[in-house]
Structure 1
Amino acid sequence: MTNVADGASPDLDTLREIERRVLWLATRIIDHANRRGDTDVKVGGHQASSASMASIMTALWFAHIGSADKVAVKPHASPVYHAIKYLTGELDRSYLTKLRQRGGLQAYPSRTKDPDVSDFSTGSVGLGAVAPLFSALTRRYVDSHFGTHGDARFIALVGDAELDEGNVWEAIADPATQGLGNFTMVIDLNRQSLDRVIPDIAATRLKQFFTDAGWHVAEAKYGSRLSAAFAEPGGETLEAHIDAMPNEAYQELFAVSGPDLRRKFLVDADDAVRRFADRLDDDALKHLVTDLGGHDLGLLIDTFRSCDAEVDRPSVVFAYTIKGHGLAMAGDPMNHAALLSPEQIDEFRTSVGLDESTEWDRFDPDSPAGRLCRSVGSEVNNALPTPRPTLPIPTAARSVTTNGSTSTQEAFGRVLASLADVAGVGERLVTTAPDVSISTNLGGFINKRGVYSHVERADHGGAERLLKWAPGPGGQHIELGISEMNLFMLLGQLGLSHDHHGEHLLPVGTVYDPFVLRGLDAFIYGLYNDAKFVVAGTPAGVTLAPEGGAHQSTITASVGAELPNLTYFEPAFATEVDWILCDALDQVGRADGSSSYLRLSTRPIDQQPFASVVESMGAERLRAHVLAGGYRLRDAPSDDRPGVTIVTTGVMAPEALAAAAELDGEGVQASVVHLTSPDRVYRSWRDGFAQSTASARIVRRPSRLHRLVPASERRRPIVSVHDAASHSLAWLGSALGARQYTLGVDRFGESGTIADLHEITGIDAGSIVNAALIALSEHDDGIDE
């Protein structure tokens, strides 16, 4: 699995030469970016944070990982990653002078925007730390269902300050991530966060957290020189003295030398330590007492291999480092964003044996370092992903539903259960939920496909509940603890399964809609990584009336519409759910596809209005309209009466239809436009502008919205109603050039009936009627809002 033939360790002198060149390139990349003089703001970069990782990453790439392994790089160490990729031949030299530039190297590792594609994007602190853990879980799932795909290790390189993020501990504690022996987290324990030295000695407490979670804990604390000194007579007192030093005091040793270092090191030292120090001159003393394991290449390699031996549990390595190691700023508590001066850069360049004409050079290809770089490059460079396979996903899983009453959440569960029986599709579906699988209607699918565990487990009464809940390797539902962050982290990695593991999955997650926001950071992270998945937020809005305000979502519709790489839907009728879900799963496999977010409800809705549209339009034509984002649910009679257009989405369709009928009785024409995807309708309108090729004129292509509201109706006022914040549909009026009244939920809810909550928030049929009459009155009076 290592890059060294027969598992033999590479020559440490060669590794140290590479390590030094990696550090130089990383430092110079940042230096060049900040001295271009073509920006009005600070460019930034992290020379000190990169320096603390140079040894760890050199040991990993040049002596440990292989082509199948996946690594998440600490965000602030991205220049080290690029330096390695350059030396191994994957990155063109021209990019070294394009850090943080348009079309150049990103500020933090990005699997979608960097030229030397990384395995995982990092940058949002704490997320990259656990992304490989969920990728390892995905690999275990893939191997259980499709046969082993060979050994692969998953490694996260993490700054110690990242462990302040709660999502890290949520992931570590989740039962679904237990037993992943192919995952290792390497913690760069430099004891500094952004602007401070972390007080106290926190490593012991952190180690205990991992131990209590069942992890294998290893450390690279002291280098080989110090370890040898500890074994000498009196060495145990030396070790105790260094162990007892506060972080601030120990770190200061790196910033001083000569008598000052001796004096500071011997504060509170006993006679045995003083006698030990007396045997060394000042330079030798500093060389010894600053010998940290996180910069000892041989120790790091041995420590990584010890983690490989732990096959039944994840590992964590505490690698003790110094921020700025090898640079003039080493140990400075304010070095996080510090830059070497031009004079210091010149000195560093000379010390590496380079000059201005050779400073960006790779190693001589015939040198030991050059040969090792070439060997690693041929083995570890990231391969371009192959296209995802086209699966036989049907356009609909069930027959068209045109009678009775049902909710979109119930329809979702039935459609998913039907898809479980579709050959070539059912075996690729994988569902997950944060302990809400039954209450979000995944029960039917679980009953057919089972719960996943890499080992057989007891069902804990599942048979009594008439559910197939006995977890085993063949199950296709991954149940998580109550952590929405874990839900979206797992969905993101399941959605990259083809790219990372060679098997295309169809991931579907469910979550209580108000708690989409709890996992929003991980949701965005998955989309940024170009993961493809489907998530159903259900139940949504104040329509879940008895549950009260804490369970009533208002802004999630806007989140769905605003996130890139995501299509948001809010259906009202059962067959809409069927068509949308099938299309969403098809999108998962398309090169130009997107993830999908379905905002659903538990409110049963009469299906007869949908049946009327099916009868007048035909199922195939209506399906095209549903997927395009909307259709006319009710046409107003064509006469000379004043008119209004009611635009609705999701569960507000019954109120919109009731209001239209009441308005008709009061002498007002009222058409109802039902948006199944306000997101797609908005994008159609937004993308409708085009530059005329024949002139400088800006022209507009017909948008979906303009097709839904014909020219004859565009001077009518619009009343929009949404079980979400009123602003979520507030763009409609400006898009059509019409007066608009927006009704929605702009206050926190409370418990009550659906009728109570709709009346309180002003989205009931009566409120729609009143808004329409006011709009018509003001329109007739020529009143401007």
Structure 2
Amino acid sequence: MVPTSHPAEIDLAVLDRVQQRVLWLATRMIDSANRERPTGELKVGGHQASSASMVSIMTALWFGHLSGDDKVAVKPHASPVYHSIKYLTGELDRSYLTKLRAVGGLQAYPSRTKDPDVADFSTGSVGLGAVAPLFAAMARRYIEAHFGEITDSPARFIALVGDAELDEGNIWEAIADPALQGLGNVMWVVDANRQSLDRVIPDQKIKKLIELFDGAGWHVVEVKYGSLLQAAFERPGGDDLKAHIDEMDNERYQSLFATSGATLRERFLVGASPALGELVGDIEDDDLYALITNLGGHDLSSLLGAYQACDLVTDRPSVVFAYTVKGWGLPIAGDPLNHSALLTAEQIDDLRSATGLTTANEWDPFSPGTAEADMCHATGGELNNQPTSPRPSLPIPDATGVLSSGAVSTQDTFGRVLTSLANIDAVAERMVTTSPDVSISTNLGSWINKMGVFTPQDRPNFLGADRILNWEQSAAGQHVELGISEMNLFLALHAFGLGHELHGRQLLPIGTVYDPFVCRGLDALIYALYNDARFVVAGTPAGVTLAPEGGAHQSSITPSIGLEL
């Protein structure tokens, strides 16, 4: 059961008017970028329908839930919604609203390095931005274990994810890794609009996704029905109505959006029980369409209640499945081909009028002194990002004084250098190593013996300390062991490498990997570099040390990848 209560101080009528303005601005930004261009120039793109499905989710989140230290990854195609909110709350200058996807303007997708209203996470490569808050929460847990709590109000790490984005394999690699378990300050909100770029998502995939999250130990909340449907469920025949909708395939449900009147009624009632027929028989045609399409992902009170429910679960991550309509509030709502569709000039005029605006004031914020303006001002004062201070310099020596006699391998030297740096307190306290289950074979053994393995709670060492490798696990450890996932390795390095920017604590992250498998994690490595994360990655020269294992473990192109990056 999803809580439907919301903080008493939030006026839902005002919040609704804010979301209507956000919808307008996001839609108009994309329209301006494509329609108001010199003759002959190509369409630049944008996603009015994908933005619209996120408006309620983001309005409820920003204006009714977030606090100052929270970090949010925004669904890539909802970038215009993000910029609209940042404009209304005072962080983004009005001049940028007509510069979407333009040189020197707003990026197509949220960017922490290029947008003027700096995003917490870049999310342009689907799947990577979704898990970035999860890894950031892991980094925060590590940092607070070593340096103490950073704020009186613990930060929450939130990802706004498209349902089709959950097809990306790196998401499930991250969710399954033990190093990322127990992060109760993480919340994902899935925009369950049942549509991807090319099609309506087949069958009832959301049910399967919910089972996967539940099996991974996540707290799952569904926000499926709006207030109209919830009220209808309480009437005679309501149980049949709920079962009829729940059992309906995505393709069939989505096809109803293109119908109305008697045709809608006829198609909806195929296979319905007599009790449902009686219930629907009392509803006018126009009201029936509003009822059938009344989903919880556009019910502000239900969304706020779901966010609150997630805050109450502190021992594991939470995920909210918010059922939405792709193209909500627009004439292209629910159309299977609306992903890249643009409203016509006439449709833009109609939306402008419906929002109570004219061409003279269409870009204006709310008038000062109104309840909407006060809400936006209060939100901006609490949430708007401040410039990050420069990274501090760590006292890393030019040389460690590590000497050897005779021939020595680079791997052995690497291990000796790490152990030497561990003796420099000001450097050692900032160092954190990580590897995808190859710590021993990449010569991290001496470092681990000296510094220990990080776990949130101390664990007994059943094998004892009198072994060559002492796997001592505690909250004081400085090595994070990952499962065999190179994507997770580079995403962890990305999170640790932004320790100063996201958490105010500079770290020196060092990751190790077999160098041919850099290619397995290359997408995440590029993502980390794009975000200006700073870290060291050492690839064992597998073409030499693993040559007897055959071609699968040999590498000839890894050095060139490094040079090209």
**Common fold: TM-score over 0.5:** yes
Deviation at 1:398, TM superposition (A): 2.1
Counterparts of 1:416 and 1:384, CA distance in 2: 33
Counterparts of 1:369 and 1:74, CA distance in 2: 25
Which residue of the partner structure matches residue 455 of structure 2?
453
Which residue of the partner structure matches residue 477 of structure 2?
475
Contact 1:73 1:122 in 2 (8 A): yes
Counterparts of 1:300 and 1:101, CA distance in 2: 34
Which residue of the partner structure matches residue 228 of structure 1?
231
Stretch deviating more after TM superposition (450-459 or 81-90): 450-459
Question: Aligned letter for 2:74?
Answer: V
Which residue of the partner structure matches residue 117 of structure 2?
116
Q: From 356, 359, 370, give the equivalent of 2:359.
A: 356
TM-score by length of 2: 0.97
Question: Aligned letter for 1:82?
Answer: H
Which residue of the partner structure matches residue 518 of structure 1?
520
Which residue of the partner structure matches residue 377 of structure 2?
374
Q: From 418, 430, 449, give the equivalent of 2:432.
A: 430
Question: Aligned letter for 2:376?
Answer: C
Contact 2:509 2:536 in 1 (8 A): yes
Q: Any residues of structure 2 matched to 1:73-88 within 5 Å, and which?
A: 73-88=74-89
Counterparts of 1:459 and 1:230, CA distance in 2: 55
Deviation at 1:464, TM superposition (A): 4.7
Deviation at 1:547, TM superposition (A): 1.8
Question: Aligned letter for 1:99?
Answer: L
Counterparts of 1:435 and 1:76, CA distance in 2: 35
Deviation at 1:556, TM superposition (A): 1.0
Question: Aligned letter for 2:12?
Answer: L
Contact 2:163 2:190 in 1 (8 A): yes
Q: From 163, 167, 170, give the equivalent of 1:167.
A: 170
**Residues 1:60 and 2:39 are matched in the alignment:** no
Counterparts of 2:221 and 2:176, CA distance in 1: 19
Contact 2:226 2:296 in 1 (8 A): yes
Show CA shifts across 1:217-252 (max 9, x none): 111010122112112222101111111211112122
Tell me the secondary structure at the aligned position of residue 219 of structure 1.
Answer: strand
Counterparts of 1:16 and 1:51, CA distance in 2: 14
Contact 1:44 1:337 in 2 (8 A): yes
Contact 2:70 2:156 in 1 (8 A): yes
Counterparts of 1:335 and 1:553, CA distance in 2: 44
Deviation at 1:125, TM superposition (A): 0.9
Deviation at 1:204, TM superposition (A): 1.3
Deviation at 1:466, TM superposition (A): 2.8
Which residue of the partner structure matches residue 215 of structure 1?
218
Deviation at 1:8, TM superposition (A): 3.4
Which residue of the partner structure matches residue 261 of structure 1?
264
Tell me the secondary structure at the aligned position of residue 350 of structure 1.
Answer: helix
Tell me the secondary structure at the aligned position of residue 543 of structure 2.
Answer: coil
Which residue of the partner structure matches residue 709 of structure 1?
none
Question: Aligned letter for 2:445?
Answer: G
Which residue of the partner structure matches residue 308 of structure 1?
311
Counterparts of 1:537 and 1:369, CA distance in 2: 54
Q: Any residues of structure 2 matched to 1:570-719 within 5 Å, and which?
A: none
Tell me the secondary structure at the aligned position of residue 325 of structure 1.
Answer: coil
The number of equivalent residue pairs is 557
Contact 1:9 1:63 in 2 (8 A): no
Q: Any residues of structure 2 matched to 1:54-203 within 5 Å, and which?
A: 54-150=55-151, 151-203=154-206
Which residue of the partner structure matches residue 578 of structure 1?
none
Which residue of the partner structure matches residue 490 of structure 1?
492
**Residues 1:29 and 2:32 are matched in the alignment:** no
Q: Any residues of structure 2 matched to 1:268-347 within 5 Å, and which?
A: 268-347=271-350
Gaps of 5+ in 2: 1-5
Tell me the secondary structure at the aligned position of residue 508 of structure 1.
Answer: strand
Counterparts of 1:360 and 1:40, CA distance in 2: 24
Tell me the secondary structure at the aligned position of residue 439 of structure 1.
Answer: helix
Show CA shifts across 1:459-505 (max 9, x none): 35262533331211100000000000000000001000111101110
Counterparts of 2:545 and 2:316, CA distance in 1: 44
Tell me the secondary structure at the aligned position of residue 347 of structure 2.
Answer: helix
Contact 2:89 2:377 in 1 (8 A): yes
Question: Aligned letter for 1:214?
Answer: G
Q: From 388, 396, 399, give the equivalent of 1:396.
A: 399
Deviation at 1:266, TM superposition (A): 1.5
Structure 1 residues 190 and 526: alpha-carbon distance in aligned structure 2, compared to 1, 3 A threshold: same
**Residues 1:19 and 2:22 are matched in the alignment:** no
Which residue of the partner structure matches residue 208 of structure 2?
205
Deviation at 1:25, TM superposition (A): 0.4
Deviation at 1:257, TM superposition (A): 2.3
Contact 1:257 1:282 in 2 (8 A): yes
Deviation at 1:284, TM superposition (A): 1.4
Question: Aligned letter for 2:145?
Answer: S
Deviation at 1:289, TM superposition (A): 1.6
Show CA shifts across 1:751-779 (max 9, x none): xxxxxxxxxxxxxxxxxxxxxxxxxxxxx
Contact 1:488 1:523 in 2 (8 A): yes
Counterparts of 2:488 and 2:453, CA distance in 1: 17
Deviation at 1:399, TM superposition (A): 4.1
Counterparts of 1:361 and 1:89, CA distance in 2: 12
Counterparts of 1:400 and 1:480, CA distance in 2: 31
Which residue of the partner structure matches residue 637 of structure 1?
none
Contact 2:402 2:416 in 1 (8 A): no
Show CA shifts across 1:538-564 (max 9, x none): 12435632121111111111110111x
**Residues 1:385 and 2:358 are matched in the alignment:** no
Show CA shifts across 1:677-716 (max 9, x none): xxxxxxxxxxxxxxxxxxxxxxxxxxxxxxxxxxxxxxxx
Contact 2:419 2:446 in 1 (8 A): yes
Question: Aligned letter for 2:442?
Answer: T
Contact 1:251 1:322 in 2 (8 A): no
Tell me the secondary structure at the aligned position of residue 122 of structure 1.
Answer: coil
Tell me the secondary structure at the aligned position of residue 140 of structure 1.
Answer: helix
Counterparts of 2:169 and 2:537, CA distance in 1: 23
Question: Aligned letter for 1:134?
Answer: F
Gaps of 5+ in 1: 1-5, 564-785
Deviation at 1:202, TM superposition (A): 1.0
Structure 1 residues 359 and 326: alpha-carbon distance in aligned structure 2, compared to 1, 3 A threshold: same
Question: Aligned letter for 1:359?
Answer: E
Which residue of the partner structure matches residue 765 of structure 1?
none
Stretch deviating more after TM superposition (329-338 or 390-399): 390-399
Counterparts of 2:131 and 2:188, CA distance in 1: 8
Contact 1:460 1:470 in 2 (8 A): no
Contact 1:451 1:468 in 2 (8 A): no
Show CA shifts across 1:386-434 (max 9, x none): 1222222111122455x31111111011101110110211010000000
Question: Aligned letter for 1:393?
Answer: I
Question: Aligned letter for 1:349?
Answer: R
Contact 2:516 2:542 in 1 (8 A): yes
TM-score by length of 1: 0.70
Tell me the secondary structure at the aligned position of residue 376 of structure 2.
Answer: helix
Counterparts of 1:40 and 1:65, CA distance in 2: 40
Contact 2:182 2:317 in 1 (8 A): yes
Question: Aligned letter for 2:358?
Answer: D
Question: Aligned letter for 1:95?
Answer: Y
Contact 2:496 2:509 in 1 (8 A): yes
Question: Aligned letter for 2:547?
Answer: A
Counterparts of 1:234 and 1:545, CA distance in 2: 70
Deviation at 1:365, TM superposition (A): 2.0
Contact 1:176 1:478 in 2 (8 A): yes
Counterparts of 1:76 and 1:116, CA distance in 2: 16
Which residue of the partner structure matches residue 534 of structure 2?
532
